[in-house]
Amino acid sequence: MQDCPLLILHPDDNIAIAKRGVEQGKTVQPEGGPEITTQDVIDLGHKVASRKIARGDAVRKFGQLIGFATEDIEAGQWVHVHNLSPGELSLDYAFSTDVPEPPKADSDRTFMGYKRPSGRVGTRNYVGIISTVNCSATTSKYAVQRIREDIIADYPNIDGIVALTHKGGCAFAYDGEDHRQLSRTMAGFANHPNIGAYIIIGLGCETAQPAYLVDSHGLVQLEMPGKADRSDTPLMMNIQDVGGVRKTVERAKSVLKELLPEANKAQREPCPVSEIILGTECGGSDGNSGITCNPAVGVASDLLVAHGATSILAEVPEIYGAEHILTRRAVNRDVGEKLIKRIKWWENYAAMFGAEIDNNPSVGNKRGGLTTIYEKSLGAIAKGGSTALRDVYEYAEQVTSRGFVIMDTPGFDAASVTGMVAGGANVVVFTTGRGSCYGCKPVPTIKVSSNTPMFERMTEDMDINAGRILDGASVADVGEEIFEKVVAVASGEETKSESQGIGDEEFCPWVPGPVL
């Protein structure tokens, strides 16, 4: 019922979710469930027992197990960390038993994008300065400041210039796994269709040498119109070789003076929606994220897949406990096994540091009503929609499959989105219940709120309010709104994070190994 403050999501559930705050002692009857008298205050997004749950019994949401009661819970009592814990799961992966038929759109859609000579399509036209090591980060930022102050305004077809700096680049094994992953990430940005031109700045003595990055990935300036080969352009420079910070900044400015006129020649033109690669992320989730914004993004994902596009679900630690739903949709057993291999890797990785993968919900997640990683994961995977799982990719690996795919990234938002963008994502949709203020240059980020109070409180940061679903709007309608927003933003419409200039600090390559 629309006016009932509690919502029961599945007939098998023994809890209800608060669509808005409910005071203690209020008697309501959710649609499809028993009458409930609240014995505690139930905040927005939090859970209340819809019937008595004995100690040790399973607690269910979405019809799925989210944990076990640690004490007897009476009907109407608040269900959260004080009386619910993850416990042990035994999942049946049932590989490829429920593979959906490929969806097909009713009509062909286009967006206004940048067709690059490489054949890929961009949604923005940025110039990048890639810092191979933290030691060259300040120099890279100084170079960006000089270009922004003195030059960039003369080139209206360039959306901006960004210094892609980070905190690593040294103290790991040369050509080791961490080095290769960092190199893959930086190369993914250098080759990204949203980057029209770039240079690489290193210090000179670091492990992550610019020459290694260029040689191992064959980097040349290929993304500019009319320039089939820019291998003569000095892509890289080392501060120690050039003669210090000031001289390197001047050298970078000189090189960019040559590159900017060529990058500025890029023009938007009609491109099929199939060229969109959507990265999906959730951060600052709450108890309603899996009910409103994430399922709505799932609808948008399905619509994009129907048009031949690609949608990436990431954050494998936040798939944990829900992977059995995805393995059933895997196009074949090999794809399903690739996902389980990554799940097992994360279990082992966490154990190395004395951590547990099921100890994931953050302070904000818990304040928003999420209790266990299983609950969080079941809501998170809704962003992946309902189509077949086509492939599973390593972090920052180039995504070449069309359709719904998974990329192995950590749950940390900045590192996760960095991996998807390095893999080719040219639009990001970011859902949030608590109010994450994320942006990512050079790729636009659309932020979708799970609830109306947060949307109204942070309206300058949120692009779409999926909280309308709690007031009676359909998930399908909000999902279609998100799909249309993706197409509009891909065509150049500015997002809220872009209007505030957010995105200079969010380049965050994930390096899982030890720093020596």
| CATH code, domain with 23 | 2.30.130.110
Residue 332 domain-assigned (yes or no): yes
Q: In this predicted model, what pLDDT tens digit does every residue of 35-62 receive, in sequence order?
A: 999 999 999 999 999 999 999 999 999 9
Residue 70 domain-assigned (yes or no): yes
Statement to judge: residues 155 and 32 lie in one domain: no
Statement to judge: residues 244 and 345 lie in one domain: no
223-237, 323-337, 344-358 — most confident range: 323-337
pLDDT at 359: 65
Range of the domain at 190: 112-263
Q: Are 274 and 415 in contact (CB under 8 A)?
A: no
pLDDT at 223: 46
Among the candidates 223, 239, 263, a domain finishes at 263
Residue 516 domain-assigned (yes or no): no
CATH number of the domain residue 127 falls in: 3.40.50
- Cα 302 from Cα 311, distance rounded (Å): 8
Of 70-79, 141-150, 199-208, 244-253, least confident by mean pLDDT is 141-150
Looking at the chain, the whole-number percentage of residues with pLDDT higher than 70 is 97
Looking at the chain, the whole-number percentage of residues with pLDDT higher than 90 is 86
pLDDT at 360: 63
Handedness of CA 106, 107, 113, 119 (dihedral sign): positive
Of 194-208, 226-240, 405-419, least confident by mean pLDDT is 226-240
- Cα 460 from Cα 468, distance rounded (Å): 18
Q: How many domains does the chain have?
A: 3
pLDDT at 310: 98
pLDDT at 118: 87
Residue 433 domain-assigned (yes or no): yes
Residue 101 domain-assigned (yes or no): no
Residue 357 domain-assigned (yes or no): yes
Q: Are 436 and 282 in contact (CB under 8 A)?
A: no
Residue 257 domain-assigned (yes or no): yes
Give me the phi and psi of 163, to 5 degrees please.
-90, 115
What mean pLDDT do residues 434-445 have?
96
Q: Are 76 and 37 in contact (CB under 8 A)?
A: yes
Q: Average model confidence (pLDDT) for the chain?
A: 94
What mean pLDDT do residues 107-130 have?
95
Which strand (E) or helix (H) includes residue 111? strand 110-115
Q: Does residue 234 have a cis peptide bond before it, meaning omega lies within 30 degrees of 0? A: no
Buried b (16+ CB within 10 A) or exposed e, 361-384: beebbbbbbbbbbbbbbbbbbbbb
pLDDT at 1: 36
Q: Are 244 and 216 in contact (CB under 8 A)?
A: no
What mean pLDDT do residues 360-373 have?
85
Statement to judge: residues 354 and 494 lie in one domain: yes
- Is the pLDDT confidence value at 69 over 60? yes
- Is the pLDDT confidence value at 501 over 50? yes
**Residue 356 confidence class, pLDDT cut points 50, 70, 90:** confident
- Is the pLDDT confidence value at 442 over 90? yes
Q: 113 pairs with which residues across the strands?
A: 269
- Is the pLDDT confidence value at 270 over 70? yes
**Residue 233 confidence class, pLDDT cut points 50, 70, 90:** low
- Cα 499 from Cα 508, distance rounded (Å): 21
Statement to judge: residues 381 and 433 lie in one domain: yes
Q: In this predicted model, what pLDDT tens digit does every residue of 448-490 receive, in sequence order?
A: 999 999 999 999 999 999 999 999 999 999 999 999 999 999 9
pLDDT at 225: 47
pLDDT at 228: 44
